Structure 1
Amino acid sequence: MLTTILTNIGLVLGLVIGVPFLFILLLSLINRNTKQHIATRFGINGQLYFGFLGIMIHEASHLITALLFGHKINQFRLIKFPSSENPTLGYVHHTWHQRNIYQNMGNLFIGIAPIFGCCGAILLACRWLLPNGYELVVTLADQTTSAPITIPDFNWPGLLIFIVIAANICIGGFDLSTADFQNAKQGLWQAVVLLIIVALISSFLPIRTSLFGWLIQLTIILSVISGFNLVISLLFNGFFRLI
């Protein structure tokens, strides 16, 4: 029983925190470098032209998650022109009660919210423009299916539009700032404690199988979309390095 409980705790922490943070670190490093090359080649405002969708989704993800965790929004801008004095492309200024465990824990999820927001937006774009690709992602996440995985036929105009949208979201949305990471760190221990409690309780409940099945499906979808985002990010990083 102890082994099962420890396994459940490791699984919950890995799926909810570990996997998202791994992709956040990789995508942030790549796309931060891409934006540096864009700013050098096209000027500081070039980051907006090549990543405006991602920037707005990034900030909207912070904003919505902050509201969900009861934070007070003092000021926000989903997108703005940067300057040498203030290079930020958008911001969400929020405050919370330091003694409120729920609001403090929210800082972790507010900090990493862009990966879920951006991945969700790309998944919706896939469903709209490439329904066959969307069905492939759903099939990969469905652990009960035994159907063979085949590469579907794509609508080429839809594929090209999808790649442009995905690239814009990747370039602008997956670059977490130092402030984002610092903010996320403030709620880390509260979130870890809560997840450990959830894993412990679920280990003794009949919903355990359903809960972990749902978490694994969500992580597979996140991993598939994030893996695609990594490929797109690397390709466009190479492109902006060469031009």
Structure 2
Amino acid sequence: MIAIGFILGFFEKHSNKYLVRAFGPQGVLLTAWIGTPIHEIGHLLQCFIWGHRVSRVKLLQLNSHDGVLGYVEHHYNPNSIYHQVGNFFIGLGPIFSGIGSLILGMYLFVPQSYETFKAEIHQHVSLEKLDINVLKTIGGAVIAITKSLFTLHNLINPFFWIFLVLAISISSHIALSKADIQSSARGLWMIFCLLVLFNIAAGIFHLDSYRLIVKSAEYNAYLLAFASIALLFSLLTFTVSYLLYKLKTI
């Protein structure tokens, strides 16, 4: 998921760059009015789940002098292991809220494409192991979604175009900021320490941790498969912004 965050960040950075070149500094606002609140809601929800105290929230600010479109200020007890682990998930919150919003939008506006995607995931995601086949599943899911979305029936369906606007706006702001990555890194370090302690205890007391590892791999496989939606629309956003930039310079 961290790797997915970096890939989404690459697409977002270049998409916004081309939008700014095409429409000026206000070009980013074309997508921010939907994407930024969903990004910040992802942080906010994870703060509630992990018990962090939220002091200030700005889901969208259009006239910021430093260019920050939104933020969530939160505080935690550094002596609490639960709070420290929460930093990892709070930092990744926008990925969860972004992917969830894309799936919900697909379910509501293009249900046939949603069913195709769900069938692809259930058919190919392995529940026994996490290996190279998961990457093939992501590629297959992207191809299946693309074929089911861009059909003649959808192109004349107004709900498809509503979903497309929503999807492009969400995927344009799903990536992690530098502060998000730093927050996740603090939580990741604590998770790493806990896993080391768990493995030591499992070795001493002869505990079978294989079933837990398999279950974790299963969740990761599903998350990566769902992330294929965000990757698809981030790539689409990058392509559209680049074409708009080229049209502007003609």
Q: State the TM-score, normalizing by the size of structure 1.
A: 0.77
State whether structure 2 residue 11 is matched by structure 1 residue 30: yes
Tell me, yes or no, if the aligned pair for 1:141 and 1:218 is still in contact at 8 Å.
Answer: no
What is the aligned partner in structure 1 of residue 177 from structure 2? 177
Q: Count matched residues.
A: 217
What is the aligned partner in structure 2 of residue 5 from structure 1? none
Tell me, yes or no, if the aligned pair for 1:108 and 1:185 is still in contact at 8 Å.
Answer: yes
State whether structure 2 residue 139 is matched by structure 1 residue 134: no
State whether structure 2 residue 58 is matched by structure 1 residue 67: no
Tell me, yes or no, if the aligned pair for 2:92 and 2:184 is still in contact at 8 Å.
Answer: yes
Residue number among 203, 207, 210 corresponding to 2:209 in the alignment: 203
Distance 2:5 2:219 in 1: 21
What is the aligned partner in structure 2 of residue 12 from structure 1? none
Cα RMSD after superposing both structures? 2.7
State whether structure 2 residue 203 is matched by structure 1 residue 219: no
**Secondary structure at the residue paired with 2:92?**
helix
What is the aligned partner in structure 2 of residue 160 from structure 1? 161
Q: Identify if the C-alpha distance between structure 1 residues 208 and 87 changes in structure 2 by more than 3 Å, giving closer, same or farther.
A: closer
Distance 1:81 1:162 in 2: 24
Q: State the AA in 1 paired with 2:154.
A: N
Q: Alpha-carbon deviations, 1:129-167, whole Å to 9, x = none? A: 11111011111111479xxx9744543223222221111
Tell me, yes or no, if the aligned pair for 1:51 and 1:170 is still in contact at 8 Å.
Answer: no
Q: Identify if the C-alpha distance between structure 1 residues 183 and 204 changes in structure 2 by more than 3 Å, giving closer, same or farther.
A: closer
Task: Please identify runs of 4+ aligned residues in structure 1 that moved more than 6 A.
Answer: none
Distance 2:219 2:2 in 1: 19
What is the aligned partner in structure 2 of residue 190 from structure 1? 190
Q: State the AA in 2 paired with 1:71.
A: H
What is the aligned partner in structure 2 of residue 96 from structure 1? 76
**Secondary structure at the residue paired with 2:72?**
strand
Tell me, yes or no, if the aligned pair for 2:46 and 2:89 is still in contact at 8 Å.
Answer: yes
What is the aligned partner in structure 2 of residue 47 from structure 1? 28
What is the aligned partner in structure 2 of residue 15 from structure 1? none
Deviation at 1:45, TM superposition (A): 3.5
What is the aligned partner in structure 2 of residue 110 from structure 1? 90
What is the aligned partner in structure 2 of residue 229 from structure 1? 233
Distance 2:208 2:23 in 1: 52
Tell me, yes or no, if the aligned pair for 1:45 and 1:81 is still in contact at 8 Å.
Answer: no
Tell me, yes or no, if the aligned pair for 2:12 and 2:234 is still in contact at 8 Å.
Answer: no
Distance 1:77 1:66 in 2: 14
**Secondary structure at the residue paired with 1:35?**
helix
Q: State the AA in 2 paired with 1:24.
A: G
Percent sequence identity over aligned pairs: 25
Q: Alpha-carbon deviations, 1:4-56, whole Å to 9, x = none? A: xxxxxxxxxxxxxxxx1122111112212322333344343332232211100
Distance 1:142 1:241 in 2: 39
Q: Identify if the C-alpha distance between structure 1 residues 137 and 195 changes in structure 2 by more than 3 Å, giving closer, same or farther.
A: farther
Q: Identify if the C-alpha distance between structure 1 residues 111 and 213 changes in structure 2 by more than 3 Å, giving closer, same or farther.
A: closer
Q: State the TM-score, normalizing by the size of structure 2.
A: 0.75
Distance 2:231 2:16 in 1: 20
Q: State the AA in 1 paired with 2:162.
A: I
Tell me, yes or no, if the aligned pair for 1:143 and 1:217 is still in contact at 8 Å.
Answer: no
Q: Identify if the C-alpha distance between structure 1 residues 192 and 226 changes in structure 2 by more than 3 Å, giving closer, same or farther.
A: farther
What is the aligned partner in structure 2 of residue 10 from structure 1? none
Residue number among 232, 238, 243 corresponding to 2:242 in the alignment: 238
Q: Alpha-carbon deviations, 1:60-91, whole Å to 9, x = none? A: 100110111110101011000134x3210001
Q: Identify if the C-alpha distance between structure 1 residues 213 and 185 changes in structure 2 by more than 3 Å, giving closer, same or farther.
A: closer
